[in-house]
Amino acid sequence: MSDQSEVYIPLLDELIEAARAVRAKAYAPYSNFQVGTAVLGANGQIYTGVNIENASFGLTVCAERNAIGAMVGDGETKVTAVVVATSNGVTPCGACRQVLLEFGDDIPIWLIAEDEETVRFTTLHALLPDHFDQSQLGAMSNE
Ligand code: THU
């Protein structure tokens, strides 16, 4: 992981607090693994999401994707920073990495654990190297 001091993001403290606070609202009765995510939109607004599980397990949606849904539903399609709060400070799953990439480039990501001390910094490109994104869809163009 890179060093946290590499990137300065305004509202980082607020973003961390939002991710921690929303985590308590996670609906995770099956895994008991609560995840809270806060994303900062290019418009300066903070959007949050929690993981929402289902008795049909495969229908579970991660916190990161729900936060992105809140942002896009508000009319913002650019993410400038992400904070993920979990019990142990883990990284976003592969599916969420790909979804984050849709709405940002090398997004700075902070991973927060419950102990309030463990804060790891990374970036989306570090988590998803050699990625596939919209720039590779040129061959699909009908123009
Ligand atoms: N989960 C997330 O919300 N985000 C991730 O990036 C990893 C996994 C959730 C899905 C499920 O509700 C629980 O954590 C255990 O996998």
14 noted as active-site residue? no
- Looking at residue 142, its pLDDT comes to 54
- Beta carbon of 95 within 6 Å of any ligand 1 atom: no
**Among 17, 53, 64, 116, the one annotated catalytic:** 64
Q: What percent of the chain has pLDDT over 90?
A: 86
Residue 113 Cα to ligand 1 middle (Å) = 14
- Looking at residue 123, its pLDDT comes to 97
Task: Give the tens place of pLDDT for each residue, 38-89.
Answer: 999 999 999 999 999 999 999 999 999 999 999 999 999 999 999 999 999 9
Q: Per-residue DSSP letters for the chain?
A: -B-GGG---TTHHHHHHHHHHHHTT-B-TTT----EEEEEETTS-EEEEE-B--SSGGG-B-HHHHHHHHHHHTT---EEEEEEE-SB-PPPPHHHHHHHHHT-SS-EEEEEBTTSS-EEEEEHHHHS-S---GGGGGGG---
- Beta carbon of 27 within 6 Å of any ligand 1 atom: no
- Listed range (73-82, 104-113, 129-138) with the worst mean pLDDT: 129-138
- Beta carbon of 87 within 6 Å of any ligand 1 atom: no
